[in-house]
Structure 1
Amino acid sequence: MLFPRHGLLGPSVVSLLLIGSVVADDARTRARDALHTLQGWYNPQSGIWDTCGWWDGASCMNTVADLAALDPSVMETARYVFSNTFNVGPVSNPHPGPEHKTVYTRDNQLSTPVNASLWLDQAYDDDGWWALAWIAAYDVTKEGTYLELAEGIFESLVNAWGTNCGGGGLPWNPTSRYVNSITNELFLSVAAHLANRVPDRKQYYVNWARKEWDWFTAQAFIGENGTINDGLLDNCQNNGATVWSYNQGVVLGGLVELNKAAPNDAYLPSANKIAKAAIETLADANNVIHEFCEPQCLPDGTQFKGIFIRNLRMLQEASPHDLYRKVISSCANSIWNNDRNEKGQFGINWAGPIVAVVDASTHSSALDALVAAVAVSGT
């Protein structure tokens, strides 16, 4: 029984607790139902979800892991996905790239070394998505092989360090000079995540995360209103390209993890500034996030908003703000009420109605918001 400071809980307090419990149960039920629908696209032979691209598959897997961390009832599904994808997923790698060389785990002591090169393609950002996905799978299973795979992928990214912009950062891919935001945000996030999960190499990963963030903030990625643009011109100035939601999101998770590994008074304030600017730019009057490409966001933009909400949830847990909770809850409720077809599938426009393609990417992106709502439903 719970006791307040001055006696038993009053009826109004008990009612609020019961309402909160109902809301949390409803959020979990919605997310479970949406996961069941998502699995209708999962292809055991390819190891990813039909209608998804290579990197979108990594994002889908991250979403499954995030829900399993909150709801043990879906753990069996999650474990199946992780194991099957680990074993067969590389057959779906569409473009093994110039960086495709054998990258084993750092100690090579496993009876079957993890060959991270199987997960590399011709884009460093794709590599980063898979590293984060395997870290998420490790978090809910504690299967060390998954973490070692993420470490191996990160080492391939380290080998790509260095651009014409300040001598640091990563280019978009091995054959391009384009320096974009998402690739470098992913490098930051993977390094910071690993710093909190690999104790004997913590300082190594902290150093890389700090190096990336120091370099990133010295460049022109962040616009005047505090949002992050797509990347840099050849002269290393902001290219003024679209303010995509995922560019506002991945950096939040990276800063949260870096602050956890190596606390600094500037990391969370920087994350909060970016998050609030993004919401000001991307949210409608009902606190529902939109992408500038809606309703036609193929092939990649269909995944972006869920990634923003996933990382906003991480920031909410580390640095709570009523605005973040409202955005997460508003997006989840609007998706369920306005952006769901008769098959229980979600589209790209979270405010509804569905007027464009519905696939595993649009659905899993929306599921990210439902998962985040589970996390904040008790707050």
Structure 2
Amino acid sequence: MLLHFLTTVSASFFLLLVNNTQVSAQSAESKATTALNTLQDAWYNETSGIWDTCGWWNGANCMTMLADFAAIDKSAIPIVTHVFNNTYVVAPAVNPAPGIEKMNTNGEPHTSYPQTWPHHWPGYHGHPGQVNASAWLDGYYDDGGWWALAWIAAYDITKNQDYLQTAIGIFEGMTAGWPTNCSNGGIWWSYKHDYANAIANELFLSVAAHLANRVPNKAYYVNWAQKEWKWFQASGMINANNTVNDGLTLDCKNNGQTVWTYNQGVVLGGLVELNKAAPDSSYLPAAAKIAAAAISALTDTNGVLHDYGCEPNCAPDGTQFKGIFVRNLQALHIVAPQKAYVRVIQASANSIWRNDRDEGNMLSVDWAGPFLNPANASTHCSAMDALVAAVVVH
């Protein structure tokens, strides 16, 4: 069970814990540690459980990055565990639309606010009322997916079953978006059922595949992940250049909208997890094809990653995108190594530290530089994904 405490942890206490790493000022580990100190000192809000200056879904990505950091630096586990516990308790209060879970009843949408777990939900292994996934739902299925991945990452560090059960419940909320009007598959972006896009479906794939590797009833989640991937491959969102456009038109054609970095990334992590859960010779080559195309389209001559569709004015959402790509590229590299992946990760991390950092060690949006003021928690934790990945592939 969670240690449901809300004790304020000062920035100096956090610095003391994390600085125990005792690493060289020039090492990849030290850069990540310094950046994490800045993130927590400048932006983490103990009262809200979210980092000031970033949005609801961005907060979930900061959580995932923290888990990845703790995986490479065990000395950070105590404070990271505190952040998980605190955010789990207090963050639902700042959910912009808590409890929204739109369903159809006689053709009319309604909102439900479930207070306990239905025993019939596949994957349920807890006790009624132990967790409440609706607290993390806000009517947008992609937002739910980010939080599901965040709690899975937190579970991997802490083995806290509440976190895993929450992810299971969020996933069930996401299934309410299936199917779209396109080939009777895929999930909608939101309860409004007015857009079928890449990110919601990639997250649906990734959450299902991640859960398949962590729960007893594996087959249920493998089936969902395989069904989603089959639909996604045939949807048309992967274009002739092997990059992923943002979504589909109402008549189910590729809408040609921007090739964002995060749409190239989440699918990589999903395929890595699906291949682990149900090995298939096609999954990793498909991921490698998308990764190669993304690197070709979205890096500069120095190998530094860009979201050309918005830089330097990427707020409030695009500021998060590049870190998500790098995080998932690193996951692909672990199981199917490529020198090209290492080059992008290291070039981006090195450029961030050299060209995209201010005197206070805040990290901004354009990884090639120069530093663009103001940085915020989203630009910073996104850049931290690259710093953490650089430690892994160092």
Is the TM value for this pair above 0.5?
A: yes
The reply to whether residue 76 of structure 1 matches residue 92 of structure 2 is: no
Secondary structure of residue in 2 paired with 1:228: coil
Equivalent in the alignment of 1:8: none
For the pair 1:218 / 2:226, whether they are aligned, the reply is no
Shift in Å at residue 356 of structure 1? 4.4
TM-score of the aligned structures, taking structure 1 as reference length: 0.91
Q: 2:117 aligns with which of 104, 107, 111?
A: 104
List gaps (5 residues or longer) in structure 1.
1-21
Superposed counterparts of 1:32-43, under 5 Å: 32-40=33-41, 41-43=43-45
Q: Is residue 25–residue 31 contact of structure 2 (8 Å, CA) maintained in 1?
A: no
Match of 1:64 in 2: 66
Q: Deviations over 1:218-273 (max 9, x none)?
A: 11101111100000001100000000000000000000000000000100000000
1:177 aligns with 2:190: no
Higher mean displacement: 166-175 or 97-106: 97-106
C-alpha separation between the residues in 1 aligned to 2:126 and 2:221?
21
SS in 2 for 1:167: coil
Q: Which residue, out of 213, 219, 223, partners 1:203?
A: 219
2:316 to 299, 312, 327: 299
Quick one: distance in 1 between partners of 2:358 and 2:25?
23
How far apart in 2 are the matches of 1:81 and 1:323?
A: 34
Tell me the equivalent position of 2:282: 266
Using the alignment, how far apart are the partners of 2:166 and 2:354 within structure 1?
39
Tell me how far apart the structure 2 counterparts of residues 126 and 29 of structure 1 sit (CA, whole Å).
31
Deviations 1:324-371 (A, max 9, x none): 011101111110111000110000000100134310000000000000
Cα contact 2:101–2:173 (8 A) shared by 1: no
> 8 Å contact 1:347–1:359 — kept in the other structure?
yes
Q: Tell me, which stretches of 5 or more residues in structure 2 are unaligned?
A: 1-22, 103-111
- In 1: Cα distance, 2:125 partner to 2:342 partner: 44
**Aligned equivalent of 1:371:** 388
Partner of 1:19: none
- Residue type matched to 1:86 in 2? Y
Spell out the pairing of 1:13-28 with structure 2 (5 A cutoff). 26-28=27-29
Distance 1:261 1:101 in 2: 32
Q: Kindly report the root-mean-square deviation, in angstroms, between the aligned alpha carbons of the 2 structures.
A: 1.5
* Cα deviations by residue, 1:250-305 (Å, 9 ceiling, x for unpaired): 00000000000000010000000000000000000010000121000011000000
2:256 paired with 1:244: no
Which amino acid counterpart does residue 86 of structure 2 have in structure 1?
A: N
**Equivalent of 2:179 in 144, 162, 166:** 162
> d(CA) in 2 for partners of 1:63 and 1:290?
19
> Aligned partners of 1:109 and 1:185: how far apart in 2?
27
Count of residue pairs brought into register by the alignment: 355
Q: TM-score, normalised by structure 2?
A: 0.88
Instruction: Give the aligned residue type for 1:227.
Output: T
> C-alpha deviations, 1:106-156, integer Å up to 9, x for none?
446437421100110021100000000000000011111100100010011
CA 1:277–1:24: 2 relative to 1, 3 Å? farther
SS at match of 1:179: coil
- Mark the CA change 1:321 to 1:109 in structure 2 (over 3 Å): closer, same or farther: closer
- Say whether the 8 Å CA contact 1:295–1:356 is kept in structure 2: no
